[in-house]
A and B are shown apart, each in its own frame.
Chain A
Amino acid sequence: MSRFGTLHTAWMVWDSPAPAPEGVVLEYSRELEKFLADIERRAFRMAQVALRDADDALDVVQDAMLKLTKNYASKPSSEWRPLFYRILENGIRDLQRRRSVRKRIMTWLPGPKEDPDNEAQDPLDSVADTATPIPETLMQDQALEKLEVSLRALPTRQREAFMLRNFEGMDVAETARAMGCSEGSVKTHYSRAVHALREQLGEAW
């Protein structure tokens, strides 16, 4: 039986009034766990690039996992990836909106200003690194940092299209489902993103 067929059978039984057999539930759980285990690190990094904060990124990834398993696990497994990234991107946008509102409120309040995007507040950042840097690693780190800065500078939809297509390896149709737009829009966003990144990073990058 095909992968989808097995899962579909599992859910047919799962959705019936009688309790589902333990073996079927286990198979369904394993399928979902395999999917999440495969996707979670990339999803975390994408969220981290967008949010610039590891804890916030973990929160939105966990939230996306919960929503997918609770609300959409009965969907065919081929739909999980676009659904998961749609939930994730919505979570990222919500968090960015909340930050923006908080920032606006903070500017009106008296007292010391808190900058939620300020990453230089961690005392560990000011500690000198005594380890001898490896030139290759150092160059890669710098290139990655430059890439992340450039990605953050992109409009949200362009960043989404670029990361889903290029980092996650989704095709145009799947990306369109994840972004909730047409395939033509995905192509436009992606093309503009590549163009903007090339301008920012330089031809030699």
Chain B
Amino acid sequence: MSEQPVDSLEERSRALFHGSVENLDMRIRSRLTRARHAALDAATVSNRSWLSRKAWWMPAAGVTAAALLGAVLWMGAPLGHHTVSLADAQSNLEDLDIVASSDESGDAMEMLQDDLDFYDFADKAASPEPAA
């Protein structure tokens, strides 16, 4: 509860002030009412739009996070096995070019088959047989 002052100056000044508040003209009262409604409308719109933004972003953020996690897992897992040099990569691309060229597609398929046999042989030769 408020502590009410008891001084006569305080009492009189308070009475005068409240009298002037009661006697405010209609123009001021009307403008204050409009200001209040504008403030309440602005707050409602602001809060609702914030809510709708929040509701929209939550599933979007979930999908983005899942996609990022998937990308990290997909990129991260083969990293250990990917010790392919730049030269190897270029060679593979050249092989694909040969296969893709329509003029010599028959020869290319034969060459690719040869290469596959060679790679298979090279792989076996490189990795020693486990001791029996």
Contact = CB atoms under 8 A, between A and B. Distances in A.
Interface of A: 14, 17-20, 25, 29, 32-33, 36-37, 40-42, 44-45, 54, 58, 61-62, 65-66, 68-70, 73, 140, 143-144, 147, 165-167, 169-172, 174, 194, 197-198, 201, 205
A17 B35 contact: no
Given A33-B36, A205-B12, A45 B20 contact: yes
Q: Chain A: interface secondary structure?
A: helix
Given A40-B32, A41-B29, A19 B51 contact: yes
B3 A171 contact: yes
Contact of A17 (B4, B40, B44, B55): B55
B77 to A, nearest CB: 34
Contact of A44 (B28, B43, B54): B28
Given A66-B39, A66-B43, 15 more contacts: A19-B52, A20-B51, A25-B44, A36-B39, A37-B36, A40-B36, A66-B42, A69-B40, A69-B43, A144-B17, A169-B4, A172-B3, A194-B10, A197-B13, A205-B9
Interface of B: 1-5, 7, 9-10, 12-14, 16-21, 24, 28-29, 31-33, 35-36, 38-40, 42-44, 46-48, 51-52, 54-55, 58
A96 to B, nearest CB: 20
Which of A18, A25, A37, A166 gathers most chain B CB within 10 Å?
A: A166
B63 to A, nearest CB: 16
Which of A19, A25, A41 gathers most chain B CB within 10 Å?
A: A41
Contacts of B31: 58
B90 to A, nearest CB: 51
B36 A140 contact: no
Given A44-B28, A65-B36, A201-B9, A169 B21 contact: no
Which of A20, A37, A69, A144 gathers most chain B CB within 10 Å?
A: A69
Contacts of A198: 9
A62 B38 contact: yes
Contacts of B47: 14, 73
Given A37-B36, A66-B39, A69-B43, A169 B2 contact: yes
Contacts of A171: 1-3
A189 to B, nearest CB: 14
A170 B2 contact: yes
Which of A14, A68, A147 gathers most chain B CB within 10 Å?
A: A147
A69 B28 contact: no
Given A58-B35, A61-B35, A69-B42, A147 B13 contact: yes
A45 B21 contact: yes
Given A40-B36, A69-B40, A18 B46 contact: no
A153 B25 CA distance: 26
B40 A140 contact: no
B129 to A, nearest CB: 62
B51 A17 contact: yes
